[in-house]
Amino acid sequence: MDRGLYIAASGMLSEMARQDILANDLANSSTPGYKADRAEQKSFQDVLLHNTQTGAVIGPIGPGSFISRQNTDFTPAPVKDTGQDLDFAIEGDGFFSVRTAQGPRFTRNGSFQTGPSGLLVDQLGNQVLDQRGQPIRVAADGTVDPTKLGVFTVTNPRKAGDSNFTGTAAGKATGSVRAGALEGSGVDPARAMIDMMTSLRAYESGQKAIQTIDTTLDQSASRVGSTS
């Protein structure tokens, strides 16, 4: 089998995975506190080619690429005023903590509301916690003192869906809470669209390479078969 088929196919698979990441970023370009992902592509270890008769080294050839790692960019995004009493943004580093059925989760999305029991909750009804890990009660006038919200340093944060992260709380973070505002999404839509088009072009190049190799192999087989 022609090695070029495997090289082109591996590149196409890498670009498909990259497009999934970019599509998810674009879908969350308006989600408060969302953090964009970055895919790192890496080549498989090069293979040395040798002359089968003399054993002399001809040179290396790369057998393709793959997504080696997916990183989340935690750079704080600009904060925008909303005028809503229960919107909160973290200026600087840190995460809010919420209590979910799966255990504590962390988020930068401070779009909160009042729960049925008068406690501060997120959009999914999870209780927002203070620095001691306790629920926060909304005052009678519908406000919450921003200093009551816990802001945690989180080690090894990983996305868990719904703008939440898993990880381990490691004390109070350096960021401060601002009321009546939300952190914007960490996605740059223009950059994401350009990256998406670049990835699509790379995918199409791999597709054309496979078609060319397939045509060449077909012609070779036909000509060998017709040789008398």
Please check whether residues 179 and 119 belong to one and the same domain.
yes
Task: Round the average pLDDT of the chain to a whole number and report it.
Answer: 88
Q: Position of tokens 């200093």?
A: 147
Cα–Cα distance measured from residue 162 to residue 98, given in angstroms and rounded to the nearest whole number: 12
Tens-digit pLDDT profile for residues 19-53: 999 999 999 999 999 999 988 776 656 555 566 67
30: in domain: yes
Cα–Cα distance measured from residue 223 to residue 219, given in angstroms and rounded to the nearest whole number: 6
188: in domain: no
Closest CA to 187 of 198, 178, 196: 196
Please check whether residues 92 and 171 belong to one and the same domain.
yes
Please check whether residues 57 and 84 belong to one and the same domain.
no
Please check whether residues 163 and 91 belong to one and the same domain.
yes
Please check whether residues 67 and 83 belong to one and the same domain.
no
Q: SS3 for 206?
A: helix
2 — pLDDT class (breaks 50, 70, 90) = low
Please check whether residues 159 and 95 belong to one and the same domain.
yes
What integer is the mean pLDDT of 60-84? 83
Please check whether residues 89 and 169 belong to one and the same domain.
yes
At 219 the pLDDT is 78
Please check whether residues 20 and 93 belong to one and the same domain.
no
User: Is residue 202 predicted with pLDDT exceeding 70?
Assistant: yes
224 bridge partner residues: none
CA dihedral sign of residues 165, 166, 167, 173: positive
Please check whether residues 87 and 172 belong to one and the same domain.
yes
Please check whether residues 84 and 174 belong to one and the same domain.
yes
User: Is residue 204 predicted with pLDDT exceeding 60?
Assistant: yes
189: in domain: no
Q: Containing domain of residue 117, as a range? A: 79-183
165: in domain: yes
pTM flag (> 0.85): no
191: in domain: no
155: in domain: yes
154: in domain: yes
Please check whether residues 21 and 116 belong to one and the same domain.
no
Number of domains within the chain: 2
Lowest-confidence pick of 49-58, 93-102, 171-180, 203-212: 49-58
197: in domain: no
Tens-digit pLDDT profile for residues 105-138: 999 999 999 998 999 999 999 999 999 999 999 9
Task: Say if CB 85 and CB 179 are below 8 A apart.
Answer: yes
Task: Say if CB 66 and CB 44 are below 8 A apart.
Answer: yes
Please check whether residues 179 and 83 belong to one and the same domain.
yes
